Amino acid sequence: MLVKSDEELAQVRYAAHAAEEACKVIVEITTPGIGEEVVFAEATREMLRQGIGVRFPTIVMNSGPHTLSWGPPRWTTSGEAPRILQHGDLLQMELMPMCGNQEIQVQMTVALDPLDDTSKKCESVALKSYDAGLKALKPGITFADLLAAMEEPHRAARCWGYTPLVHSLGPHFLAGRTQVNIDQANLNVTFVGPNAARQREAVIQPGMVFAFEPNACIGNHRVNIGGTVVVTATGCEELNHIPSTVTHKQ
């Protein structure tokens, strides 16, 4: 299931296209004074307009000058009003469109400048992690090798990762949840038993599809970027470009 057929790859590419089109809409409409619900609705509309499906929770979303919260928008379950975007905010969204039951994921982030220096450092580390993954990903390496390459910028900058830096798509079998600098998280959580992610030694092959999700955290600051990447015979191919960097707007 990890190695896709030509037909499945065509579906993956179309789902990635739907996500890219939705990211264009997000860039266009995200501005100070707009509510989260407007961005959520228009991004969902654009994905569905492509004639594809979306899986629960449709879009993961949060916003603010700094936050670790990651899940469905709070207002979808809490009964509170959607947040109004402001200067200094990071709007971070995970889109998960599906074509022919082939799911892809992108991590779309818009910065409503000015950002604080801590968020700027997180952004820089996430970008370096993404680039390191592109350079490392090729047939013959192990998934653990890929994760190690994407972890190195976090190690050097003393950042930690809240969610996986990378994982396979359809199925979500190979998950790169890093333990680098996890002591910096200061999470008020008590673990019972081992909490380290299982090291996956699977050998990467052409036709595998990965969600690059490099997220860099310092304290309660977090920046998350990334898109869908396909393994080719000689390396890899990015299917998404807009969400592979932070889009800055005034």
Q: What is the mean pLDDT of residues 207-225?
A: 96
Spatial separation of the C-alpha atoms in residues 144 and 92, rounded to whole Å: 27
What percent of the chain has pLDDT above 90?
83
Average pLDDT, the chain: 93
> Half-sphere exposure (CA, 13 Å, Cβ side) for 191?
6
Length of the chain: 250
Q: What is the mean pLDDT of residues 216-225?
A: 95
Contact status, residue 125 vs residue 229, Cβ threshold 8 Å: no
pLDDT of residue 198: 64
Q: What is the mean pLDDT of residues 58-63?
A: 96
Q: Six-digit token pair at 201?
A: 């030694």
pLDDT at 106 over 60: yes
Q: What is the mean pLDDT of residues 178-207?
A: 74
pLDDT of residue 250: 85
Spatial separation of the C-alpha atoms in residues 24 and 43, rounded to whole Å: 9
Closest to 165 measured CA to CA, from 106, 215, 227: 215
pLDDT of residue 185: 79
pLDDT at 214 over 70: yes
pLDDT classification of 176: cutoffs 50, 70, 90: confident
Q: How far is CA 148 from CA 127, 132, 157, 220, 238, in A?
A: 15, 9, 15, 24, 20
pLDDT of residue 170: 87
pLDDT at 188 over 90: no
pLDDT at 6 over 60: yes
What percent of the chain has pLDDT above 70?
95
Region of 185 (left: φ > 0; alpha: ψ -120 to 50; beta: rest) is alpha
Residue listed under structure tokens 């000058």:
65
Q: What is the mean pLDDT of residues 121-134?
A: 98
What amino acid is encoded at 37 in this protein? E
Q: What is the mean pLDDT of residues 124-135?
A: 98
Q: Six-digit token pair at 156?
A: 């050097």
SS3 102: strand
pLDDT of residue 187: 64
pLDDT of residue 184: 81
Residue environment code for 86-107, b if the CB has 16+ CB neighbours within 10 A, otherwise e: eebbbbbbbbbbbbeebbbbbb
Most confident of 56-60, 173-177, 191-195: 56-60
| Least confident stretch, 38-52, 106-120, 174-188 | 174-188
Greatest Cα pair distance in the chain: 50
pLDDT at 11 over 90: yes
Peptide bond before 139: cis, by omega within 30 degrees of 0?
no
pLDDT at 88 over 90: yes
Q: What is the mean pLDDT of residues 180-187?
A: 79
